Chain A
Amino acid sequence: MAGYTSVTAEDLAIMLDAIGVGSVEELFDAIPVGVRLGRPIDLPPGEPEQAVYAELRRLAARNVSAEDEITFLGAGMYDHYVPSIVDMLMSRSEFLTPYTPYQPEVSQGGLQVMFEYQTAISELTGLPVSNASVYEGPSAVGAAAYLAKLTNKRRRVLVGRGVHPHSRATLETLAVGYGMEVAEIGLDDGVTDLAALRDALGDDVSAVILQQPNFIGAIEDVQAIADAAHGHGALVICAADPLTLGVLEAPGNQGADLVVGEGQSLGNRLDFGGPSFGFFAATEKHIRSMPGRIAGETTDADGRRGFVLTLQTREQHIRREKATSNICTSQALNALGGVVYLSWLGRRGIVELGELILQRTHYARETLSALDGVDKLHDCPVVREFALRLDADVGRVLERCAAAGVNAGYALGRSYEEFGDGLLVAITEQRSRADIDRLAEVLGAAVAAERAGAGAQVAAQVTSSEGLSLR
């Protein structure tokens, strides 16, 4: 007996007798000798719970998390405060342990959560139809491109360079399977180059994809991009940051046909990148092409209000090769966290939170760009994240800041060659004015030290950590 099984010698005797075999091994007779492992699985022996806990703690202690430093690192996932009721509700057995609601009569809890979540996402995005979640942000962008292809059968996708690098990369990878071609529209002064977009548009363009705010923090003109795209019959896909939608206009009200994005900032942890959830909302006409699960309202045999998975004919288990996506398991528990969080924030809270972050972001940008050797990379309006240019090696500056207990942000050069001196700084409600002032102090000192030529010393320290790449 190991782990979580309960077969005693007594149980075994009864069971083998009922089956009519002499040993458990006989039950594996169907496996031909030629494919038998013939030896034990070569893994360390199992350990009791307390030893496993100790090991996982040891590993945790080797990580510098947002608990251990003041972090301004964003770039797609953000250190927001997750309220305790989210943890509590996500750990309830009734939400944590069932599977997808295939038997709706005993899954009204989960189905109603999906229905409420869909309602909340529709509210945020300004679009009437939302599904019950997809995996995360970048693959949501990929799924949106698939929907565009199914809808208008065109082959080209135009994607703005301001869209998250991982979304663009995922789109490229998936496009190979879809048989679609991806072309990038560059940035101009921090936002999507509208002239370049207009030049690139044509009758072969299936969709135009933009991000709001874009990766370098700038607010895009969704309406202008949408108008240009619609003029050529292309769908408009807007990847949006959901927490900014208390202060920014809903892209669905500005011409976006699909609004998708990363849901992590809604009540989900950083978790080194996942699990989180992706949201996916569309105009009414796309409802039958939507990927993923959708919960719908209905009544039961006695007239009671209830909920079911609906429009299942879109899905893989019925339409098989003609399905609108292959999603089976998605992110139901994380979406629960999302809707609980949005309920906790409430109608006023999402605006207040957005305003607070907006003001602190402005303060941070002004304060930091006033430092010597630090300038704004662009001057566009920002709401929660902004880009700076440093007159010093960004990697070494980040090292110095880290040594002082501050994670100053994301080195833009990691994914934008043209911004090799760029630093992306994210603000959440957990970063107080005092934290921002500390960042200014530490960043200012780091840049000054690097400019003063202390660069060689730090470089030596860096390479002595055996050439680990800064990805």
Chain B
Amino acid sequence: MTGERSDPFTSQTEHQRERATTIFEKGAPRRRAFRAPELDVPAVEGLIPAAQRRGTPPRLPEASEPEIVRHYVNLSKRNFDLDSGFYPLGSCTMKHNPRLHERVAALPGHARLHPLQDPRRAQGALELMFNLQESLAEIAGLPHVSLQPSAGSHGELAGVLLTRAYHADRGEQRTKVLTPDSAHSTNPATVTMAGYEVVKVALDAAGGVDVDDLRAKADDSVACLMLTNPSTLGIFDPNIEEIASIVHGVGATLYYDGANLNAIMGYSRPGDMGFDIVHFNLHKTFTQPHGGGGPGAGPIAVSDRIEPYLPRPQVVRRAPSNGGPPTFDLDDDRGGSESKSIGKLRGFQGNYGVFVRTYAYIRSLGGEGLQDVSEVAVLNANYLLARLREKVGDRLPLAFGERCMHEFVLSGAPMKKELGIRTLDVAKRLLDHGFHPPTVYFPLVVDEALLIEPTETETRETLDAFADAIAAIVAEAEQDPEIARNAPYTTPVRRLDEAGAAKRPRVREVLPD
């Protein structure tokens, strides 16, 4: 890792020398990978009316299997990934993805099961989903679970729609949803999609919800307050009981964004804090692999008063009258014509492949293991914070408070002022050190934010190495800030022209006719 600027014609890495070519530029006419099975029925003409017949086939690639494999395998090597290195993206909980989960998810009994299979012949799947529901209910401290939402923000949408149904059922017209400025950014978008107005609640000096501001804004036009605890600042809000009391006092619901659940398992539960609706991010706390941007899942747990509105179908367990073993079913009806269910948020019953993995994780860890997860997550974060403070605490101070939970936010503002490099430049220079950078410029309440979440699966040595890398970058900038400003140097491509991409968007390959 040197500080020299890259000369396009020398000192390039192997990846940098390779021009990016898409699969459409590979192959040649009449090459193929797929071999169709024999046509074993008589061929009949005219089955599709001429007007509906495809004129020109889609211009998909024509390549052999070896070409396709080589293309995508080489492409994969232009990616940094969690298996390869430290990935402290704050708020994303990039913890190790156990490979047992891939093995069990691939069992044909799970992987090749059709969603509309007769429930009597899908008892394994329904039992798994039911047990997962029960486990999540225990972790959340709320009794009723729906596994349907496909991601955290989908779970949020479900939560706000549930809130809407709850108030409508009471004949109430509420128009606003409150959310603090440090909220995960899907919250305001979700609120708008659910037909409410977003009203921001201020934070106090300690980074928690400003209780006075909340009290001033909480009235009977408010449908819900959406929070996460600990917040995206990594701080557990000590006023949560009072906050819950204010919100419930005006008849609104309290919604928990489960993005930071990794911090509190075994210590506190959102249900016990007073939340009515909780969503989980199975791709965060529960090890579903991030996949480069999904799939995930965002199941929700709710209190008794919200239960009637849960989406359909619900997985239910029935004890047979003759005393035999329980059976499981999908209750699509949810009370028939009297049903208050909000209906469906997606097809079928949810991302079952994700449930299989999550269930395997929960069975592997057990209650004690989950508590251990949170303890080590918080320990690792505080240790890394301590090391960073020791080394660069004056340039990159902690933005709020003294300690943290499972993640913490540093501010690059002093560094920017004194050394002339920004959080962005530190992030780019970290790439040259073989680390994925933390989350940058979020939460918005911190200037030049650097949000760091190590997770519990990292070793002490990795944390030390990361702290050393940050220190090295800062020290280097003290000598020559230009180096970080032009970083990265050793990645497959260097800084990219994002403005150009946004001005004249090219979102597909240009294909020859």
**A and B in contact, CB less than 8 Å:** yes
Q: Do the beta carbons of B266 and A41 come within 8 Å of each other?
A: yes
Residues on A with C-beta less than 8 A from B511 are 119, 123
A63: contacting residue among B109, B164, B367, CB under 8 A? B109
Q: Do the beta carbons of A274 and B58 come within 8 Å of each other?
A: no
A300: contacting residue among B92, B191, B431, B497, CB under 8 A? B497
B138: contacting residue among A18, A43, A301, A339, CB under 8 A? A43
CA distance A47 to B356 in the complex (A): 16
Given contacts A129-B507, A219-B49, A316-B153, contact A273 B115 (CB under 8 A): yes
CA distance A197 to B488 in the complex (A): 57
CA distance A240 to B506 in the complex (A): 24
B123–chain A nearest beta-carbon distance, Å? 5
Q: Do the beta carbons of B117 and A63 come within 8 Å of each other?
A: yes
Given contacts A123-B59, A330-B294, contact A275 B364 (CB under 8 A): no
From B181-189, B246-254, B474-482, give the one contacting chain A: B181-189
Residues on A with C-beta less than 8 A from B470 are none
Tell yes or no: A342 within 8 A of B by CB: yes
A177: contacting residue among B116, B164, B238, CB under 8 A? B164
Q: Do the beta carbons of A99 and B268 come within 8 Å of each other?
A: no
Q: Do the beta carbons of B112 and A336 come within 8 Å of each other?
A: no
A130: contacting residue among B33, B390, B508, CB under 8 A? B508
From B213-221, B338-346, B407-415, give the one contacting chain A: B338-346
Residues on A with C-beta less than 8 A from B296 are 329
Q: Do the beta carbons of B117 and A407 come within 8 Å of each other?
A: yes
Tell yes or no: B47 within 8 A of A by CB: yes
Q: Do the beta carbons of B350 and A170 come within 8 Å of each other?
A: no
Q: Do the beta carbons of B151 and A330 come within 8 Å of each other?
A: yes
Residues on B with C-beta less than 8 A from A104 are 493, 496, 498
Tell yes or no: B437 within 8 A of A by CB: yes
CA distance A234 to B80 in the complex (A): 44
Chain A, residue nearest B237 (CB): A30
Tell yes or no: A9 within 8 A of B by CB: no
Encode A233-269 as 1/0 by CB contact (under 8 A) with B: 0000000000001111110010000000010000001
Tell yes or no: B261 within 8 A of A by CB: no
A344: contacting residue among B54, B68, B157, B370, CB under 8 A? B68
Q: Contacts A270-B114, A468-B119 known; list 17 others, CB within 8 Å.
A: A52-B100, A60-B124, A96-B83, A98-B87, A108-B493, A110-B293, A136-B346, A167-B347, A176-B165, A219-B52, A249-B53, A269-B353, A274-B150, A316-B186, A351-B57, A356-B36, A360-B40
B48: contacting residue among A124, A223, A304, A383, CB under 8 A? A383
Q: Do the beta carbons of B378 and A250 come within 8 Å of each other?
A: no
Residues on B with C-beta less than 8 A from A128 are 508
A8–chain B nearest beta-carbon distance, Å? 9
Q: Do the beta carbons of A14 and B403 come within 8 Å of each other?
A: no
Tell yes or no: B337 within 8 A of A by CB: no
Encode B301-330 as 1/0 by CB contact (under 8 A) with A: 000000000010100001011101001011
Tell yes or no: A152 within 8 A of B by CB: no
Tell yes or no: B232 within 8 A of A by CB: no
Tell yes or no: B204 within 8 A of A by CB: no
Given contacts A3-B365, A43-B135, A471-B313, contact A316 B108 (CB under 8 A): no
Q: Do the beta carbons of A332 and B294 come within 8 Å of each other?
A: yes
Q: Do the beta carbons of B494 and A118 come within 8 Å of each other?
A: no
Encode B280-296 as 1/0 by CB contact (under 8 A) with A: 01010000011111111
CA distance A271 to B350 in the complex (A): 10
Tell yes or no: A122 within 8 A of B by CB: yes
Residues on A with C-beta less than 8 A from B1 are none
Residues on B with C-beta less than 8 A from A96 are 81, 83, 97, 102, 289, 291-292
Residues on B with C-beta less than 8 A from A348 are 30, 32, 57, 62
Residues on B with C-beta less than 8 A from A172 are 343
A333: contacting residue among B100, B124, B295, B360, CB under 8 A? B295
Q: Do the beta carbons of B195 and A176 come within 8 Å of each other?
A: yes
CA distance A95 to B128 in the complex (A): 27
8 contacts between A and B (CB under 8 A): A5-B456, A19-B403, A41-B367, A95-B291, A123-B59, A174-B345, A250-B58, A343-B71
Q: Do the beta carbons of A47 and B364 come within 8 Å of each other?
A: yes
Q: Do the beta carbons of B114 and A120 come within 8 Å of each other?
A: no
Q: Do the beta carbons of A122 and B496 come within 8 Å of each other?
A: no
Tell yes or no: B386 within 8 A of A by CB: yes
Chain B residues numbered 467-509 whose CB sits less than 8 Å from any CB in chain A: 486, 488, 491-498, 500-502, 505-509
A291–chain B nearest beta-carbon distance, Å? 10
Q: Do the beta carbons of A35 and B273 come within 8 Å of each other?
A: yes
Q: Do the beta carbons of B24 and A43 come within 8 Å of each other?
A: no
Given contacts A104-B493, A109-B79, A124-B58, contact A60 B109 (CB under 8 A): yes
Tell yes or no: B425 within 8 A of A by CB: no
Q: Do the beta carbons of B122 and A272 come within 8 Å of each other?
A: yes
A315–chain B nearest beta-carbon distance, Å? 8
